[in-house]
Amino acid sequence: MVDVPQLVEQARQGRPRAVARLISLVEGASPELREVMAALAPLTGNAYVVGLTGSPGVGKSTTTSALVTAYRKTGKRVGVLAVDPSSPFSGGALLGDRVRMSEHASDPGVYIRSMATRGHLGGLAWAAPQAIRVLDAAGCDVILVETVGVGQSEVEIAGQADTSVVMLAPGMGDGIQAAKAGILEIGDVYVVNKADRDGADATARELNHMLGLGESRAPGDWRPPIVKTVAARGEGVDEVVEALEKHRAWMEEHGVLAERRHSRASHEVETIAVTALRERIGDLRGDRRLDALAERIVSGETDPYRAADELVDGLTNGG
Amino acid sequence: MVDVPQLVEQARQGRPRAVARLISLVEGASPELREVMAALAPLTGNAYVVGLTGSPGVGKSTTTSALVTAYRKTGKRVGVLAVDPSSPFSGGALLGDRVRMSEHASDPGVYIRSMATRGHLGGLAWAAPQAIRVLDAAGCDVILVETVGVGQSEVEIAGQADTSVVMLAPGMGDGIQAAKAGILEIGDVYVVNKADRDGADATARELNHMLGLGESRAPGDWRPPIVKTVAARGEGVDEVVEALEKHRAWMEEHGVLAERRHSRASHEVETIAVTALRERIGDLRGDRRLDALAERIVSGETDPYRAADELVDGLTNGG
């Protein structure tokens, strides 16, 4: 038996083990998931969630680590969620104690958690917001969500952040890659890392051009800044924090933060509801009704659409 | 206005334009989709559907073309569906007249159709079986479904075939690739193409080992054969046809064909039903109920799971 109220209280007090335990519970879709989520609800909504995306090799982990250092200097509690949708490993144990983050491992004001799964589609997009809620309830002021790789899942996960940072590095053809992956549109702040390398200015210019940042905007519109960093030496990282805080202030001023959180919550309910309905249909496998419908399709008596209509009608009328 | 009964009648008579038109209708999820599917239902169930999968470069198109030639020699009508889930192009117009298939372009006993989309997930897996139904109703005896690339979508599409052919070529590290993609388990017949190249025997041996084909099986179990081909010269292609026909006969003898078709139909109904339910939820966007739920989540008054429960209950009780 898991004592959820006790775990939540311990997490609220900032005990790392309780936080880890709760994330495992929500990540694993444990029987306690619903109880945990219900208990966390009143404790959430305080953290500022920052997503970091970009191709492998741009230096996301190094930048995340440098951002943690920068935020810690201002006394903020920081949560890090490193998400790898392509990894076959699940859970924090395998990736949790990442060497790159080791400098923060003994800091009680920092939680670091890796999540990875290549389970069913949408599995991760579904688990990440729950883990964010745990970190939020545990009193994190800032949560950095770092995604590995560039792809649809990353775009989805980035969509769960208040502010999205899109990272590039010089000479990787990243602009094109990011554009292909649909990632260029999602940045609120752009970081050109490894700015001490040849081509950093060209990358920034290319990015500026691709984003149409030179064009005039309506007053009050957010103009995504491009910040150059050498994260490995901490250069430019304070400027990234500054850009993040500016974006946050802008969002609050224009009601965008509330809007984004509202739309995220709405999307999340939708995802969970679809999953629940899906499971309801899944339960019918081997069921007489679905079996009979399949038989009628095979024999040509009906078609899959009419059959699906019958099935849905059956389900939505108390099935 | 589309005259569906007329189109279906023309397709049944084997008119290529009507076939093409019907596939466009089902592929594009047109308003007539349901009418088309209903009209096709009594005409389906006769075609033998063969799926071909394998990494790019193994020679799938060449092999497909050679198989068409082989089946045509026996007087069978053949449909070819070339499916590329990674392509941004949709519809037959762009990819339809593929040069590699051009030798069959003027043969009235052959239909060739390319399908490609990277729309919403499951989009293609959903459209392919409908296109197969059109080809089936149009009197194709054999339908070859060729998928491009190796990945989850391909595995799904292969699952819609009666018999799955998994293709490899020497020296491409294909065995490992295929194993990673979960494609090794789905083969009923294995083809090592480009068998005139170095390493063909090694690839066949490796495959034999990975599949555990050396191990003894229960009498009556299907033992997937490994056929070596040089499809570009037509070598080994008759042996592939022979292996396919053996597998088909085995499936019929053991009730496996009926079983597979039943389980496919059941899966299809499920997919369509989930999509329908998803759309029903999608309709609620901007709706008062979903809006109110999202607001309560943002404020911490409820959590996404309880909210989803409320939403689902609302939908399934006449919403």
Q: What is the pLDDT of residues A17-67, one digit of tens each?
A: 999 999 888 877 678 888 998 999 999 989 999 999 887 778 888 899 999
CB atoms within 10 A of CB B124: 25
Identify which of B43, B265, B311 has the shortest CB distance to residue A298.
B265
The phi, psi pair for B135, rounded to 5°, reads -65, -40
* Structure tokens, A161: 């952040």
Tell me the pLDDT tens digit for each residue of A176-192: 555 555 666 788 999 99
**Whether A196 contacts A232, CB under 8 Å:** no
Find the closest chain B residue to A29 by CA distance. Answer: B305
Determine the 3-state secondary structure of A244 from DSSP.
Answer: helix
Contact yes or no for A272 and B301 at CB 8 A: no
Give which of A279, A305, A306 to mutate to test B binding, by max B Cβ within 10 Å. A305
Strands B110-116 and B78-84, bridge-based pairing: parallel
Q: Closest to A293 (Cβ–Cβ): which among B133, B269, B290?
A: B269
**Which of A268, A297, A300 lies at the smallest CB-CB distance from B304?**
A268
Strands B142-147, B48-53: pairing kind: parallel
CA distance A25 to chain B (A): 14
Q: What is the pLDDT of residue B190?
A: 94
Q: How confident is the model at residue A11 (pLDDT cuts 50, 70, 90)?
A: very high
Say whether A290 and B307 touch across the interface (CB within 8 A). Answer: no
**CB within 8 Å: A265 and B34:** no
Token representation of residue A162: 């208040």
For residue B9, what pLDDT is reported?
A: 95
Check B285 against A270: CB less than 8 A apart: yes
CB contact under 8 A, A266 and B312: no
B319 chain-A contacts, CB cut-off 8 A: 316
**What is the pLDDT, as a whole number, of residue B83?**
78
Judged against a pLDDT cut of 70, whether residue A275 lies above it is answered with yes
Sequence-ordered list of residues with C-beta below 8 angstroms from that of B228, at least 6 positions apart, any chain: B191, B192, B193, B195, B200, B204, B236
Rounded to whole angstroms, what are the CA distances from B304 to A26, B296, B299? 12, 9, 12
Q: Per residue of chain B (319 residues), give pLDDT as tens.
A: 789 999 999 999 989 899 999 988 887 767 888 889 899 999 998 999 999 988 777 888 889 999 999 999 999 999 998 876 554 443 333 333 344 466 777 788 888 887 765 443 345 556 788 889 999 999 999 999 988 655 566 666 667 899 999 888 887 655 555 555 566 678 899 999 999 999 899 888 888 887 877 677 777 889 899 999 999 999 999 999 999 999 999 999 999 999 999 888 888 888 788 777 777 776 666 677 888 888 898 888 888 888 888 887 776 665 4
Q: How far is A35 from chain B (nearest CA, A)?
A: 9
State the Cα–Cα distance between residues A42 and B297, nearest whole angstrom. 9
- Which of these, A6, A27, A10, lies nearest to A19 by C-alpha position? A10
Q: How many angstroms separate the CA atoms of B152 and A134, rounded? A: 31
CATH architecture of B45-254: 3-Layer(aba) Sandwich (3.40)
Cβ-based contacts of A266 with chain B (< 8 Å)? 285, 290-291, 293-294
Contact B300 A261 (CB under 8 A): no
Specify the pLDDT at position A91.
36
Closest CA to A126 of A43, A56, A29, A208: A29
Residue in chain B lying closest to A32 (CA): B305
Q: How confident is the model over A89-141, as pLDDT tens digits? A: 333 333 333 444 667 777 888 888 877 654 433 455 567 888 899 999 999 99
Report how far Cα A137 is from the mean position of its chain's Cα atoms.
16
Distance from the Cα of B160 to chain A's closest Cα (Å) equals 13
Q: What is the mean predicted confidence (pLDDT) over A244-267?
A: 92
Q: How many CB pairs under 8 A join A and B?
A: 182
CA B76 to chain centroid: 20
The structure tokens listed for A283 are 């339960």
- Tell me which chain A residue has its CA closest to the CA of residue B121: A121
Distance from CA of B241 to the nearest CA of A (A): 25
**Pairwise CB contact (< 8 Å): B298 & A265:** yes
Q: Which residues of B touch A45 (CB under 8 A)?
A: 298-300
Q: Residue B270: its chain A contacts at CB < 8 A?
A: 281-282, 284-285, 290, 308, 311
d(C-alpha A274, C-alpha B35), whole Å: 27
Is B277–A301 a contact, with Cβ atoms under 8 angstroms apart? Answer: no
CA–CA separation, A247 and A48 (whole Å): 11
Residue in chain A closest to B290 (alpha carbons) equals A266
Q: Is A98 left (phi over 0), alpha (psi -120 to 50) or beta?
A: beta
Q: Do B41 and A276 count as a contact with CB atoms less than 8 A apart? A: no
Measured in whole angstroms, the distance separating CA A155 from the mean position of its chain's CA atoms is: 8
Using CA atoms of A164, A170, A171, A177 in order, give the dihedral in degrees to the nearest 10. 10
> Distance from B33 to chain A by nearest Cα, in Å?
9
Q: What is the pLDDT of residue B112?
A: 85
Considering only CB atoms, B281 lies closest to which of A33, A42, A273, namely A273
Q: Is the pLDDT of residue A175 over 70?
A: no
Listed by start position, the domains of chain B span: 45-254, 271-316
Residues B207 and A152: their CA atoms lie apart, in Å, by: 33
| pLDDT number for residue A126 | 66
Shortest distance between the Cα of A168 and any Cα of chain B, in A, equals 24
A226-228 vs B142-147, strand pairing mode: unpaired
Determine whether the interchain pair B304/A33 forms a contact, defined as Cβ–Cβ distance below 8 Å: no
Q: Residue A281 and residue B294: Cβ atoms within 8 Å?
A: no
* pLDDT top residue among A86 and A231: A231
Say if residue A229 is exposed, middle or buried (CB neighbours under 10 Å; 0-12, 13-18, 19+).
Answer: buried
Which CB contacts under 8 angstroms, 24+ apart, belong to B301-304? B301/A41, B301/A42, B302/A38, B302/A41, B303/A34, B303/A37, B303/A38, B303/A40, B303/A41, B303/A133, B304/A37, B304/A129, B304/A265, B304/A268, B304/A269, B304/A272
The answer to whether domain A45-253 has CATH 3.90.480.10 is: no
Residue A289 pLDDT exceeds 60? yes
A87, pLDDT greater than 50: no
Q: Which ipTM value was assigned to this complex?
A: 0.74
Beta strands B48-53 and B78-84 are: unpaired
User: In the prediction, which pLDDT does B247 show?
Assistant: 97
A295–B262 CB contact, under 8 Å: yes
And the tokens for B306? 């309880």
Q: CB B270 to CB A282 under 8 A? A: yes
DSSP state of A140: -
User: CA nearest A160: which of A199, A115, A198?
Assistant: A115
